[in-house]
Structure 1
Amino acid sequence: MASEAFEEIVETFEFLEDWEDRYRHVIDMGKAMAPLDDALKVPATKVDGCASQVWLHPEIEGSGPQGVFRFQGESDAMIVRGLIAILHDLYSGLTNAEVLKVDAPTELARLGLNEHLSAQRSNGVRAMVERIRLLAAAA
């Protein structure tokens, strides 16, 4: 289960056959994201396990399983900003319960990211997904 916004990314990636074009698209997605306010770049929002600096700030409307999950994020690395944008489109707008049902590795595999990310970047994506799941579960 993925959001409509993520399905649009999948369609775009299917259109972009060359990995270099996909890579540039991921970076462009990161550039298009609004910057995270510096006041939100605190230890509580920092994601451990990423080679780059990464912050994820939840914005959850309501509480419990039916609360609507959204988040803002930022990184000091352009490709990672793009990966945050992809995760944003994968999860934002889902309920907390739906967030916990998303099979992120399977969904992200649809983009072919697994074959093209370094081990460090893959570990970072896993750390971001785990943080998102923890935030949704806590809400």
Structure 2
Amino acid sequence: MAQAAFEEIVETFEFLEDWEDRYRHVIDMGKAMDPLDDALKVPATKVDGCASQVWLHPTIEGEGPSATFTFEGESDAMIVRGLIAVLKALYSGVSVSDIPKINAPVELGRLGLNDHLSAQRSNGLRAMVDRINSVAVAAAA
């Protein structure tokens, strides 16, 4: 069920056998993202549960269950910024009714992230996924 952009990341990770190269690739993905406007870095967009500062600003296009979900994000940590880029590849462009159907732990597990992130980073990633799911569920209602 993953998006084509996420499948490209999976393919790249299969090509990059060394975890350090994969780690650098995630960081480079984060560096390639446009910065989040400072006006959007507010308490309502801040994600609790992350060791670093994280903001996610969702955009819902359309109404009801077929509305499309996208988001922008930012973090003060380079690896987390890269993880936001990975989540954008997984979730952006998906209908809000399909967002909860994405099994993020399984999809992200395909990248081997579970084995290479600290407990704090894993908790932060889970908090970002939870935020994305809650926004989508509310928009689909």
User: Identity rate of aligned residues, in percent?
Assistant: 78
Query: Where does residue 83 of structure 1 map in the other structure?
Result: 83
Alignment partners' CA distance in 2, 1:120 and 1:68: 30
Q: How far does residue 136 in structure 1 lie from its aligned partner after superposition?
A: 0.5
Q: Secondary structure at the match of 2:89?
A: helix
Long gaps (5+) in structure 2? none
Alignment partners' CA distance in 1, 2:63 and 2:56: 18
Q: Deviations over 1:34-68 (max 9, x none)?
A: 00000000000000000000000011101211000
Q: Secondary structure at the match of 1:129?
A: helix
Alignment partners' CA distance in 1, 2:20 and 2:26: 10
Q: TM-score, normalised by structure 1?
A: 0.99
Moved >4 Å (runs of 4+): none
Please tell me the root mean square deviation across aligned C-alpha atoms, in Å. Answer: 0.4
Q: TM-score, normalised by structure 2?
A: 0.98
Q: How far does residue 107 in structure 1 lie from its aligned partner after superposition?
A: 0.1
Alignment partners' CA distance in 1, 2:51 and 2:91: 22
User: Which residue identity lines up with residue 98 of structure 2 in the other structure?
Assistant: E
Q: Does 1:132 align with 2:132?
A: yes
Alignment partners' CA distance in 2, 1:41 and 1:63: 25
Query: Where does residue 58 of structure 1 map in the other structure?
Result: 58
Long gaps (5+) in structure 1? none
User: Which residue identity lines up with residue 79 of structure 1 in the other structure?
Assistant: I
Alignment partners' CA distance in 2, 1:45 and 1:62: 20
Alignment partners' CA distance in 2, 1:60 and 1:73: 15
Higher strand content, 1 or 2: 2
Alignment partners' CA distance in 2, 1:53 and 1:63: 30
Q: Secondary structure at the match of 2:115?
A: coil
